[in-house]
Amino acid sequence: MDKEKIEKGIRMVLEAVGANLKVKDIAATPKRVAQMYEEILSGQFKDASKELEIILEQEHDEIILVKDIPLYSLCEHHLLPFFGKAHVAYIPDKRITGLSKIARAVDTLSKRLQVQERLTTEIADVIMKKLKPKGVMVVIEAEHLCMSMRGAKKAGTVTNTSVVRGVFRSNSKTRQEALSLIAF
């Protein structure tokens, strides 16, 4: 990540909106913003599948659900945050990963310039590819500050997205069981 270029760009934005760059606190803003982008976009070039270490190979054909995983991301359209929670369910086919590994994969994928729809798909795809489960379901609930602060100005509005793969797509009872566990 080119932090010097980010600092230069932020300096230009601040000048364009009329900020006084001679004020001590504002003078340091370009550097702080560059450091912030380095942190909140740290997943930009990481391989999220490396987070999904297979820790167990055993017979287990029931739903494993990790729900209410906090997530924070940056909308690629307006560079404003969206935040919420992810619910990730999968039915293993011998390969099981640690519960924290799923949360780490969500974190890696959300630390990119994103849209919620793609984030939901990427989480499902990385789990399908790495763990090769019988099925995976991902549901994300998030508030987008680009909708809360500007445009529609509807603070508190939540967007839900879901992706289903494998048995969750082909078997409505399995899908419904996972959805009821998420709602529980």
Residue 144 annotated to the active site: yes
| Burial class for 135, CB neighbours closer than 10 Å (0-12, 13-18, 19+) | buried
Residue among 7, 51, 87, 144 flagged as catalytic: 144
- Residue pair 61/133 in contact (Cβ under 8 Å)? The answer is no
Catalytic residue at 76? Answer: yes
Tokens (6 digits) for 23 = 């004020």
Give the Cα separation of 28 and 98 in Å (integer).
41
Q: What is the pTM of this model?
A: 0.95
The predicted-structure confidence for 3-45, as pLDDT tens digits, reads as follows 999 999 999 999 999 999 999 999 999 999 999 999 999 999 9
Angle at 133 between CA 109 and CA 84, to 5 degrees: 35
Asked if 69 and 51 count as a contact pair (C-beta separation under 8 A), the reply is: no
Active-site residue identified among 7, 51, 116, 122 = 116
Q: Amino acid letter at 30? A: P
The pLDDT profile of the chain, 184 residues, written as one tens digit per residue, is 999 999 999 999 999 999 999 999 999 999 999 999 999 999 999 999 999 998 888 888 899 999 999 999 999 999 999 999 999 999 999 999 999 999 999 999 999 999 999 999 999 999 999 999 999 999 999 999 999 999 999 999 999 999 999 999 999 999 999 999 999 9
Give the H/E segment covering residue 6: helix 3-16
Instruction: Please name each of the domains of the chain with its CATH number.
Output: 3-40 (no CATH), 48-183 (3.30.1130.10)
Given 39, 53, 57, 76, which residue is catalytic? 76
Which residue out of 75, 87, 114, 122 is catalytically annotated? Answer: 75
Residues 6+ positions from 169 with CB-CB distance below 8 Å = 135, 175
Q: Is 78 a catalytic residue?
A: yes
H helix or E strand, kind and range, residue 97: strand 95-97
